[in-house]
Structure 1
Amino acid sequence: MAGGRRMRGDAVLWVPGTDHAGIATQVIVEKSLWAEQRTTRHQLGREEFLKRMWKWKSDRSEQILHQMKALGVTLDWDRAVFTMDPTMWTAVTARSDRQTMSAAVTAAFVRLYDAGLVYRSEALVNWCCHLQSAVSDIEVEHKTVDGAMVDFAYRWERDPSEEIVVSTTRPETMLGDTAVAVHPGDQRWASWVGRRLTHPLRPGEPTIPVLADESVRPDFGTGAVKITPAHDPNDFEVGKRHQLESLTILSEDGRINENGGEFQGLTRSEARLAVLDALRQRGLLRDQRPHQLSVPVCSRTGDVIEPMVKHQWFVRCGEMAAAALAAVESGELVLEPPSLRNIWKQWLQESRDWCVSHQRGGASDLA
């Protein structure tokens, strides 16, 4: 710490700075706006909402700096900076180029991009329908809730009297099904692999295949599962392995889109009931039973997270995670207490590319 170095007699420059917390700030300002005026950010408009965001930031930054001063922290307060300020680099360092602090953030991003560590791609992300934004893995919590396991039938295109019964906890997403999968070793459904099925709620559309995939758990429900690549992380990977179509059936606000046919415009909860009723009317609903499930929710809003396929920015984490693991294993990096090594190892071994996109009023930025 700079304070410790100064106490040893070293000359130290300690610059105070604050970072931007885009999603957290947005949620707080939105709640305040609703409590005070019963107005949403959409009703207020982008420019006016941004003004309120900046005012909130200004007020809170002063509080943060005041708290640091009260703690007796000896910083060079005249050089205080914020990551999105137009403050020049020369106010902080001896650099001669007149870059702003916000430009420095952009420069860091460009360097990561040039190094191949940042890229833009279409992939499955955690989508918060309330924020209408992607959120990172660390902003997602999982809650155990009482739900239901639903069994319904898909019929063979050649002989509608023959059916394969699938199990799901999210029947509304069957509107986006592009396959049914079974485990390759599950003899109950072995004769079905390679057959094609008619989709009961997408009449007139191409049939969908029954395929075998190692990821299917034979002990889950009937052992046959629906595959919805655009709305489930595991299904997304199955879709890539088997080159399946990803059919998005939800809009950014969580309502069924035009791909949902007669269900277009319904909310997620409304669609669930409507789909179950439609399956019942067609004689395809086989069973409903209580089932506990883990539901991903946005830590900022409490809204249920929707896995959705989006074009977003990602940080490539594989090589960096491997280097961080190797540094601890070699002793180059020492963790205290040593018990943290297991957490470090688990976190980095399970790391995947990190989504760094956030959306503001329908436009993407990097918050």
Structure 2
Amino acid sequence: MDRPDSQNDDTACIRTQVEQSGEREHSVPMFMTSSFTFNDAEQARALFAQEEEGNIYSRFTNPNVEEFVEKMCALEGVEEGLATASGMAAVFTTFAAHLEQGDEVLASRYLFGSTHKLLTQVFPKWGISHTYGDIHDLSEWEDLVTPETKFVYVETPSNPTVDLIDLEWMGTFCDRHDLIYIVDNCFASPVLQKPAQYGADIIIHSATKYIDGQGRGVGGVVVGNEEYLEPIQSFARHSGPALSPFNAWMFSKSLETLDVRMEKHSRSALDVAQHLQEREDVKFVRYPFLESHPQYELAQKQMSGGGGILSFAVEGGIERGARFLDALEMCSLTANLGDSRTIATHPASTTHSKLTEDERRAVGILPGLVRVSVGLEAPEDIKADLDQALDRSAQ
């Protein structure tokens, strides 16, 4: 693997790549093969015994997957990584590799719906429990730690309300209690936020979102310190949540433009958020770099940009929210985010529909809440579409 001497993120994204073959290609080819040949029986033995580095089988290792992981490690400033078939595969594999019967997870209450389901329905069957902490009252977390607590799991910014966790405070907390510190960094991307700088041991991404950035493929990635990644890599080797070489190649190429994409996503999202908060029929707007955000100062401290996600609540509840979505003309209605195209979602009836109404309200998901993933279109066109949909839905 060729690695750049420069520590600059932009350079690492572009110049970290698989060594050139005899064809002298400039762009890395796809290694669409299920397995790799051995020079002789001794090399096969050494590779399986992990005495020699090299490719065996694409469920274990593949040059395209390795390149993608190397780039993500460089971006997050960590040592090791693993790519998976989806973001949720990354979450599940991380949990399953580190948890044993009797362990407990201490997590932020502000979680993606499927992660919530893992904690409340899947892992309890295996004798693994969880406790939720309030990210707006960190003082209560001290009383939530028990002898069974194994790790802390948080998302920041959260989905879909873009609430923040104080990464530095949580890193100190986890160190004091000897807990593994896991951060879902999907919304910010490693360009805007680096949890390892605040003590995070493991960082998770859904590569489906900003890493890809164009709504083309599904994938996930886990990166972190070697001692915490080794159990995850071992578990994945035998359980098989492998990322395909094609998707890895695609994500790796996408990383070359991640910095410039996140810059425009952030700039446009702030513009749209400022515009929406001027409307009388919008109850509130939440965006990390909006001065009205209750954690604006924290966002300025630990993020270099606000990202591309904002949420807002409309007057008129769930019925008005549905009319608003139906009135959109340009923005997409789809189950994704982080795309080059702007996407609007109604969390209460889609991404977080499996939560009860009380559970949704506890994390700020009101019936009329709309999440917008601001794309790369001209912000004037995005604002115009949101305006006309708000106007028509009010009638």
Classify the TM-score, shorter chain: under 0.3
Identify, as 1 or 2, the structure richer in strand.
1
TM-score relative to the length of structure 2 = 0.25
